[in-house]
Amino acid sequence: MIPVTKTFFPPLEEYQNQLKRIWDNEWLTNRGELVKELEGSLKNKLEVPNITLTANGTLPIQIALKILAKGGEVITTPFSYVATTSAIIWENCTPVFVDIHPEYLTIDERKIESAITSKTKAILATHVFGNPCNVDEIEKIAQKYKLKVIYDAAHSYGVKYREKSIFNYGDISTCSFHATKLFHTGEGGAMFCNDEKLNHELFYSHNFGHNGPEDFHGVGINAKMSELQAAMGISVLPYLTKIIEERKRIITFYNYNLNFSQIRRLLIRKNTLWNYSYYPIIFPSEKKLLKVKEILNKENIFPRRYFYPSLNTLNYVKNEPMPISENIANTVLCLPVYYSLGDDKLTKIISIINKNV
Q: What is the pLDDT of residues 242-283, one digit of tens each?
A: 999 999 999 999 999 999 999 999 999 999 999 999 999 999
The residue extents of the domains of the chain are 2-237, 239-356
239-356: CATH superfamily: Aspartate Aminotransferase, domain 1 (3.90.1150.10)
Q: What is the pLDDT of residue 218?
A: 84
pLDDT digits (tens, 9 = 90+) for 284-316: 999 999 999 999 999 999 999 999 999 999 999
Q: How far is the C-alpha of 330 from the C-alpha of 198, rounded, in Å? A: 39
What is the predicted pLDDT for the residue at 215?
A: 78
The CATH topology of domain 2-237 is Aspartate Aminotransferase; domain 2 (3.40.640)
**Which percentage of the chain shows pLDDT scores above 90?**
96
Q: Is the pLDDT of residue 212 over 80?
A: no
pLDDT given for residue 216 in this prediction: 78
Region 119-136: mean pLDDT is 98
Question: pLDDT tens, 139-188?
Answer: 999 999 999 999 999 999 999 999 999 999 999 999 999 999 999 999 99
Per-residue model confidence (pLDDT) at position 200: 94
Q: Write the DSSP assignment of 127-172 as a string of letters.
A: -GGGPPP-HHHHHHHHHHHT-EEEEE-TT-TT-EETTEEGGGSSSE
> Which of 283, 258, 285 has the alpha carbon at shortest distance from 349?
258
d(CA 113, CA 117): 9
Average pLDDT over residues 52-73: 98
